[in-house]
Structure 1
Amino acid sequence: MRDYLVEQLTSMGLDVEVQDTVGMGHSVPTPYGPRYLGAGRVRNIVARLEGTERGAVALMSHYDSVAQGPGANDAGVPVCAILEAVRVLTEDPPRRDVLVVLTDGEEAGLLGARAFFAEHPLARTIDVVLNFEARGDRGPVLMFETSPGSRPLIRKLAGTRLPVVASSLFDEVYQRMYNSTDFAVSKEHGVPGLNFAHIGGFVHYHGPLDHIGNVDRRVLRQHGDLALGLVRALDEPGQRTGGNDVFFSVGNGTMVRYPVAAALPLAVCTALTSRPKFKGIGALAARLAAGALGATGLTWLLGKASPEFRRGGDFHDSGKVYGAVVALSAAGSLLGGAHRRRGAATRLPLAVASVVLAKMLPGASYLAVWPLLGGPVGGALVLAPLSRLLFQGLTPRMAGTSAIVLQLLGEQAAPVIGRLPRGIRRSLAVAAAATGAALAVRAVLPGEARPRPATLSYLLDADKGTALWLSSDAKPAEWTRDALGDHPVSARLPEYFPGWKRELLHAPAPVLDLPAPVVRVVAEQPIGHHRRVSLEIRSPRGARQMSISVPDGGVLRWAVDGHAVTAEQAKTGAPGEVWDLWLHAVPEQGFRLELDVATTPVRMRVADRSDGLPASGPQPDENGIAPAIDVETWGNATFALVRLEI
């Protein structure tokens, strides 16, 4: 793949190089255990379309994928879009440089991006980064993250009039999430920019269904139009940073925006002039709660018949599930009486929310301000698309948030609904409820053959001469039952995975003749009150990943092949906190690892991991490959481990 991309960029006339180095990832929190670190050999593709003026716009994505899927969307679609945008740009080159940065090791902890911005001289020439990503296989493309002081870039984006869903709400939310892309690294280095992704079809993410058949050419075109249009727009002189805006998309390519400083005054004025009333608040809260609980209960009930729901919170036919939520919310809005008073009851919560959001999350304040200003019309423009995006972004597992938005919109429209004769309202409510029920049933009916992914790993304890079958699933699948049996033990395994809090199914496995990881101490020297230990670590069986754990923590500094990170930089390494490092793309000769540790003996556990199961064990068919939703290393794999003291 790398050779192909280099060939394509070279044929367009760009100066192309491959940055071959070691990338170092800072700690990443996981839902199941300790913060873990990453390092590994990366090969970034860096290409330059030379301009005549100083400064560069970087088009960035990553070209690696998780091992469990082809990666056609994540990130094949963005890479293809960038290639085509650059091809068009070569026909009429911009005045400023255009850099194409296709990183390696993104899925392993942003390793390639960290290496590029830390080491590559062209990184210091970048004025703006445009990063393109995917978290599914459907649109629309969202502009979901900005750098600080993004007003000039938002103005440029709005000026292109390109169809993109952009919102300062996304940025406010994303800053508070653990998720990250290569764009996070450019932000750490103070480079202005915008981050784009399509997120629909989460069930196809990081798994075997992320193949070329599930690529939407409209999404591909949208990424490409954005890359091309923004490079053209940013070729004009002007500031790259300067203040922040509240902004949101309305319609196809139209954006409303105003300074963040105006958010609180606008919210206060709107709240004071909306004439909020306390009457009906209790009934409104009860209706909203009922809608949220109903939608959540529906999706969790449907999830009982959908194995993919447990793993990722999504469905193969999530559009039908969303349709069911919309239909049932509509039925709730049509039923009941006092429609005229119900519309007035929404003013108080919207007024309070507008002021609170403007003070605490100004980028999200428009969600309450504009429905207050515009009534049902303003609510429809803002809340209707928000409900769909919440359903996609938070997955159907949190369908209650989407239902609350729909219910609130229905409450605003209640006075209009109340003008309909009661008989017509009841008939429409029955039709909506029936439609919702039919869509819900159709969403989980057996259809075409779908993947039934399951995890199974083989673990050899080379010290003890024992072995286990392991699975992170809730129960054995049909093909994993041959190894796990019908009733495997479920428990944590700190002896093998220190600090991991998740329970794993496990059962005894045959002891195979696998070479164990090799660890050799090559040097040791005192460093103040500590010591620096140099180790050579390699996998004789050619595993692509290795895991090094120090269960008692206390690692103050670590380096891989001379690339060092301190505990303070990595935000880990305190005594008693499990220190866990994953090494990726392990070369044949292995890595040289340096650890700054205490002068007393330090316990270590070293494991190597190869993709796939031993040939003598059970094997999944193409539909049984486990997706890497939770942690990339929990696919079907073979582990061998040793313990030692240094």
Structure 2
Amino acid sequence: MTQSQRLARPPIQFILGLLALLVAFCFKSVVTAPPNVSETLSTTGFDTKVAIDRLAWILGDERPHPVDSPANDLVRERILSEIKTLGYTPEVRDDFACRGSKRFGGMSCARVRNILFRAGPSGGGAALIAAHYDSVPAGPGASDDGAGVAATLEIAARLTGRKLTKPVIFLLTDGEEVGLLGASSFVRKDPWAKDVALAINMEARGTGGPAIMFQTSAPNGRDIAALTAKPVRTIANSMAADIYRTLPNDTDATEFLAKGYDVINFAFIAPVARYHTPLDNLANLEPASVGHMGGAALVALEGHLAGKPTANALEADVIYSDVLGRFILVMPKAVGYGLLGFGLLGALFAYVRSGPKGVVRALIAPLAALLVAGGVGFGALWLINQVRVESQWWFATPMAGRLLVYSSGLLGALIALWLCRGISPTRVLAGAWIWVTGLFLGLSIVSPGSMILAAPAAGLAGAGFLLTGMKIDRRLLQVIFGLASALVLLIFILPALDFAEVGLGFGLGWAFGAVGALLMLCTLAPIWQPETKLAGASLLTLLAIGGAFAWAAFTPAYSPEIPRPLNVQHWHGDGGDHAWVLGPGEEAAPTSMQALAPFKLASLRNSDSKRVHAPAPVLSGTPMPARIEVLAETKTAEGRTLKLRVLAPGADEVILSVPKEAQVRMLNGGSDGQAGGLTFDAPKALGLRCVGRSCVQWDLEVKLGPTPAPWITRAVLRKLGPEGDAIVKARPPWASPVQGGDVRVTNQSQKL
């Protein structure tokens, strides 16, 4: 075999590098798995077994316990009993609370009963340990947020008998699931709210996975100082916190941030398909996840208690990231900019000194990798969505999605290397790092926290590039520093990608693949030879893409463990029409249900969107519609001010849909006329909601336009009558109620 033939074959280290990269991207969740309960106990003192045993007693028969329901009363009484057993004196704050949201265009109300107790001295500077104890109507809430309740009580148990230097307030909110009502009530009205300096909130959006610290206040110096005062195992990075601020998602921490507290917010989020379903039960709750979250929260509390008062000190704003979930690296933003800038200058230095050949191609190649990976991934995902009727198939086959998008990333990296044939490997590697450092410097404009993911690796790469100017073996330096900086880059970015996949799904999978292509190019370039033929490797990558496509496109999307969310609603309208309505979403009815009724996606009376529905029999019993009484009306030149009373006898929930034509300019809820007040700059459609037993009579005040408009009232009863037995029985085992579950809805139109 000639020398040229040997070079034409990919060296073994290159082939192994390809395989290692694909394995690392597809199985990256292994390195972020939560510690076992024994490790958590030995390192933090948090006893997971005791915490879950306590939760099992609190949940009892695991019935759903939404706000202001008899089941929630029982859960609350058992929580109070446990708190007293721990030696504390709990207090219950009873409040009819409303919270408005301009973002979503509406308001939610309910009677909430927050549970509070405290330890340590009186006064300010307190740490708030918070979770919520209500569940959605469809599920028992063992994870969301029974896990937070269990962790809160176990943290309280760890403090029993200790002499504390700062106050600790424990808050178990009610009504979180219907709009953060308990947290809103606490920050607006509770006398203890003024004492809080740091809020540590615990949540769940699944039944397992690692504990993720995904939200802080801004600036965040005190938050991160408390979290990292002692070694802590959690998943966290400042880019995720930046992104979360832009999302429409909310937890109780939203209210704590608005109050001005420092905030540390934890959650575990896998698998999302069990979120707000009957599968959110004790059997599926992963003990290691509860321990991971509770242990990290306990460490953060201990850090706050040990910290010195800094009330008048200027708070730093830092960037941070976990390192394989083992510890958290923290650095000032200036250091992040410095390392990225140093890496960019080093890459430019090496790029310029790499001779005249390939000046343009080596700089275009990384862009080609991004475009190929993103384009192939986008096209493949689009085709799968055309083949499948299921909108979120990736929850059932996440590994198929990973293999698809990261094989696309690998293809992009290989094409970039093919474009660079005959060019100096140093220039190819420098070109890739110019793009990496430039990309993250650009991202820092909108997300300064993103710098932490690339800055350490950029600093290492920059040092390697500058050393190539020395009279030593440049090829050896390239391999050593190139692989070392690529490894550091992967260590920081892979856990962040895993978090993004679980939280966002593969709707943005093409973007994950594009990022992967750039990372893979940085990893492969140090071990690549310019004369190496890449056709065989590219063919294998195309086969991997094809296999992943078939896996994702044709594997059953749902199972009893990862179910399709599917509620059955029985609607009765004021026009005498009756309908079965399926949701959420617009997926077709399962065959077994279609056999009972001719479901179709079409417009529905008293609905502002198309819904999957079919004719239904008459509601059993006497429908009890909600009605609106006008208690007082004041007319002005601008419009009208109405004091309203909504009456919904026997309903578990009442919903008002207000059309844009009503021209609502101001909205207040609650008997005090102040709860959840909202003003609107322009007319918009609104949704108003009151949940629980207290909503049989609901008072509102509204300022609106002069012309009456039709409001839709919906009285919701959380159970189906006997006429629903057959349709519920026909729901397949791979489908499950979600959120509000199966309900009867009585609709009525009323002009106001």
Q: Same fold (TM over 0.5)?
A: yes
* Corresponding position: 1:620 with 2:728: yes
* Corresponding position: 1:545 with 2:654: yes
What amino acid maps onto 1:614 in structure 2? Answer: G
C-alpha offsets along residues 580-600 of structure 1, whole Å, 9 cap, x if unaligned? 211111427422222233454
C-alpha offsets along residues 465-504 of structure 1, whole Å, 9 cap, x if unaligned? 2223323432122344256405x2523x4x513xx4x421
Pick closer, same or farther for the CA change 1:228–1:360 going to 2, 3 Å: closer
Structure 1 residues 277-286 or 72-81, which shifts more? 277-286
Task: Give the whole-Å Cα distance in 1 for the aligned partners of 2:530 and 2:618.
Answer: 74
* Counterpart in the other structure of 1:41: 111
Deviation, 1:538, is 2.3
Pick closer, same or farther for the CA change 1:358–1:599 going to 2, 3 Å: closer
Structure 1 counterpart SS, 2:694 = coil
Structure 1 residues 209-218 or 296-305, which shifts more? 296-305
Deviation, 1:151, is 0.7
**Aligned length in residues:** 627
Structure 1 residues 438-447 or 87-96, which shifts more? 438-447
Pick closer, same or farther for the CA change 1:305–1:87 going to 2, 3 Å: farther
Structure 1 residues 447-456 or 427-436, which shifts more? 427-436
Which of the two has greater helix per residue?
A: 2
What amino acid maps onto 2:578 in structure 1? Answer: A
* Counterpart in the other structure of 1:14: 88
* Counterpart in the other structure of 1:214: 284
* Gapped regions of structure 2 (runs ≥ 5): 1-74, 352-358, 461-484
Task: Give the whole-Å Cα distance in 1 for the aligned partners of 2:539 and 2:283.
Answer: 38
Contact 1:69 1:207 in 2 (8 A): yes
Pick closer, same or farther for the CA change 1:93–1:362 going to 2, 3 Å: same
Which of the two has greater strand per residue?
A: 1
Task: Give the whole-Å Cα distance in 2 for the aligned partners of 1:227 and 1:305.
Answer: 44
Pick closer, same or farther for the CA change 1:479–1:535 going to 2, 3 Å: farther
What amino acid maps onto 1:27 in structure 2? Answer: S
Pick closer, same or farther for the CA change 1:555–1:183 going to 2, 3 Å: same
Structure 1 counterpart SS, 2:125 = strand
* Counterpart in the other structure of 2:394: 314
Pick closer, same or farther for the CA change 1:82–1:429 going to 2, 3 Å: farther
Pick closer, same or farther for the CA change 1:191–1:22 going to 2, 3 Å: same
Task: Give the whole-Å Cα distance in 2 for the aligned partners of 1:89 and 1:66.
Answer: 31
Structure 2 counterpart SS, 1:360 = coil
Matches within 5 A, 1:475-486: 475-481=588-594, 484-485=597-598
* Corresponding position: 1:454 with 2:566: yes
What amino acid maps onto 1:293 in structure 2? Answer: G
Task: Give the whole-Å Cα distance in 2 for the aligned partners of 1:158 and 1:260.
Answer: 17
Task: Give the whole-Å Cα distance in 2 for the aligned partners of 1:4 and 1:319.
Answer: 41
Contact 1:461 1:467 in 2 (8 A): yes
C-alpha offsets along residues 522-549 of structure 1, whole Å, 9 cap, x if unaligned? 3334578554323322222333333352
Pick closer, same or farther for the CA change 1:318–1:385 going to 2, 3 Å: same
C-alpha offsets along residues 279-327 of structure 1, whole Å, 9 cap, x if unaligned? 33433323322223334455566667877x51x4632342454355446
Deviation, 1:8, is 0.9
Pick closer, same or farther for the CA change 1:642–1:233 going to 2, 3 Å: same
Pick closer, same or farther for the CA change 1:133–1:489 going to 2, 3 Å: closer
Contact 1:557 1:564 in 2 (8 A): no
What amino acid maps onto 1:352 in structure 2? Answer: G
Across the aligned residues of Structure 1 and Structure 2, the Cα RMSD in angstroms comes to 3.3
Task: Give the whole-Å Cα distance in 2 for the aligned partners of 1:440 and 1:84.
Answer: 47
C-alpha offsets along residues 178-219 of structure 1, whole Å, 9 cap, x if unaligned? 111110101111111111111231222222322222212111
* Counterpart in the other structure of 2:318: 245
Pick closer, same or farther for the CA change 1:643–1:525 going to 2, 3 Å: same
Contact 1:151 1:245 in 2 (8 A): yes
Identical counterparts, % of pairs? 23
C-alpha offsets along residues 53-93 of structure 1, whole Å, 9 cap, x if unaligned? 64311111111222222222211212211211211111435
Deviation, 1:410, is 1.1
C-alpha offsets along residues 579-622 of structure 1, whole Å, 9 cap, x if unaligned? 22111114274222222334543532221112233321343248
Contact 1:534 1:593 in 2 (8 A): yes
Matches within 5 A, 1:135-534: 135-236=205-306, 237-239=308-310, 242-275=315-348, 278-299=360-381, 310=391, 312=392, 314-319=394-399, 321-323=401-403, 325-326=405-406, 329-330=409-410, 333=413, 337=418, 338=420, 340=425, 342-374=428-460, 375-418=485-528, 426=536, 430=540, 437=547, 441=551, 445=555, 449-450=560-561, 451-462=563-574, 464-472=575-583, 473-481=586-594, 484-485=597-598, 488-491=600-603, 493=604, 496-497=606-607, 500=608, 502-512=609-619, 513-525=622-634, 530-534=639-643
The structure that has the greater radius of gyration is: 2
Contact 1:137 1:216 in 2 (8 A): yes
Deviation, 1:258, is 2.1
What amino acid maps onto 1:249 in structure 2? Answer: D
* Counterpart in the other structure of 1:597: 704
What amino acid maps onto 1:361 in structure 2? Answer: S
Deviation, 1:114, is 0.6
* Corresponding position: 1:64 with 2:134: yes
Pick closer, same or farther for the CA change 1:433–1:162 going to 2, 3 Å: farther
Task: Give the whole-Å Cα distance in 2 for the aligned partners of 1:190 and 1:120.
Answer: 15
Contact 1:557 1:565 in 2 (8 A): no
Pick closer, same or farther for the CA change 1:26–1:84 going to 2, 3 Å: same
Contact 2:666 2:679 in 1 (8 A): no
Structure 1 residues 438-447 or 166-175, which shifts more? 438-447
